[in-house]
Amino acid sequence: MRTRADCRLCGSRRLEPLFSLGATPLANEFMSEAEKNKDQEHFPLDLYLCLDCGHVQLRDVVDPERLFRHYVYVSSTSPVFVDHFRRYAEAMIRTAQLAPGAAVIEIGSNDGALLQWFKQAGMRVLGIDPARAIAAEATARGIETLAEFFDLPLARRLRAQGWAADLVAANNVFAHADDLHTIVEGVAHLLKPDGLFVFEVSYLADVVEKTLFDTIYHEHLSYHAVRPLVGFFARHGMELVEAIRVDSHGGSLRGIAKLSGGRFPKQAGVEELTALEDSLGLSRPDAFRRLFETIQQRREELVALLRRLKAEGKRLAGFGAPAKATTLMFHFGLGPDVLDYLIDDSPWKQGLYSPGHHIPVVPSAWLYDPAHRPDVVLILAWNFAEPIMHKHRAFHEAGGRFLIPLPKVELR
């Protein structure tokens, strides 16, 4: 780990500390059966605001080789995300006026959950993702994927190989890189003159409005808002031309940028969302100090309810082992004394143990097994609470309860 002294977007050294969530293990560093008794390193999780451009960020940077080479998150295990990416691809095909044969490149393409829809529409696609096992699986499924980190030298190599992109996408990864400059320089190098760059990231306005603090973890170095991004793209010969709020991950921002001089006209969303951000005070520390007070209130509410349930002799389990669960469980103090196990539908995580607390991850069949059946399920993947509860309504009909921790505490 290293600690940077300047703003990731504008280079200013005027970084104001906002609040600390303590020290946690890496959010996706699950342990095997053989490793479960080992101690794991904990890294500081402290949030800072750039007083010059307003960008919110972590200063402590964990080696990306450690974070991403053996990644265990895959998009296609969630039907909700598969449908989100289908609709996303359809929207971008319309917006960018992509025809069969167009070239689409995705940075951080994971298992090809988005690119598959462009390929089905007759386009030439290429994925780039450093997670070797997932990249190999995507390639085997017909989505060619390079197991590499994206930067300007890679973009130059791809351009020399004949890749000139009509569309470059980066979804839920544009917050992951310490050096966003080389990524945008690489994108600019790959794009055709009228090509577009589209990205989705957790939106800072949603983090503040909905108390989505568990999206803060070491992979997410940046917490993006529109206003700082406008200046950032301009410094790289690009223009942010659209900004749209979408509901994935509890609240995300979809940004669209073009090369300066490109034909795509600027849309109203950029001004609308910068006005919203100004009204929320996202460039001032006070908004985040109020956010931290709300986080502490949520912790008190949830912990009090869990203590009551345990005192009543209830068996508790968690549903979902997303990265955000690590932040929530550590800041709220939810360990194996509270949760017997975590249910997750991803075969990449089943049979492993959660970061730090080393709680076993099991399949959803455990919900219905008399030997393991819990009384109450804490939905750690709370952004998928409705589809989870619908899919497992038989558990609820048999007397089980679902507990949702965020954006507000609800026992159903």
| 7, part of any domain | no
The whole-number pLDDT of residue 69 equals 72
Residue 229 CA from chain centroid, whole number? 18
Who's near 51: CB < 8 A, 6+ residues apart? 12, 14, 15, 16
The Cα 106–Cα 128 span in angstroms is 6
**What's the whole-model pTM score?**
0.93
- We report the CATH number of the domain holding residue 205 as 3.40.50.150
Angle (deg, nearest 10), helices 152-160 and 180-190: 20
Q: Into how many domains does the chain fold?
A: 2
Residue 89 has pLDDT above 90, yes or no: yes
| 171, part of any domain | yes
Residue 185 has pLDDT above 90, yes or no: yes
- Are 100 and 203 in the same domain? yes
Yes or no: say if 148 and 167 are a contact pair by the CB < 8 Å rule.
Answer: no
- Are 311 and 365 in the same domain? yes
- Are 276 and 313 in the same domain? no
> Closest Cα partner for 101 from 119, 88, 128?
119
Angle at 68 between CA 110 and CA 354, to 5 degrees: 100
Residue 73 has pLDDT above 70, yes or no: no
The Cα 14–Cα 233 span in angstroms is 20
- Are 315 and 259 in the same domain? no
- Are 306 and 399 in the same domain? yes
Show the domain range for 358. Answer: 302-411
Beta-bridge mates of residue 191: 165
> Closest Cα partner for 319 from 367, 259, 390?
367
| Rounded mean pLDDT, 129-146 | 94
Yes or no: say if 372 and 104 are a contact pair by the CB < 8 Å rule.
Answer: no
Number of C-beta neighbours around residue 336 at 10 A? 13
| 381, part of any domain | yes
Between these two residues, 68 and 245, which has the higher pLDDT value? 245
Most confident among 92-101, 166-175, 341-350 (mean pLDDT): 92-101
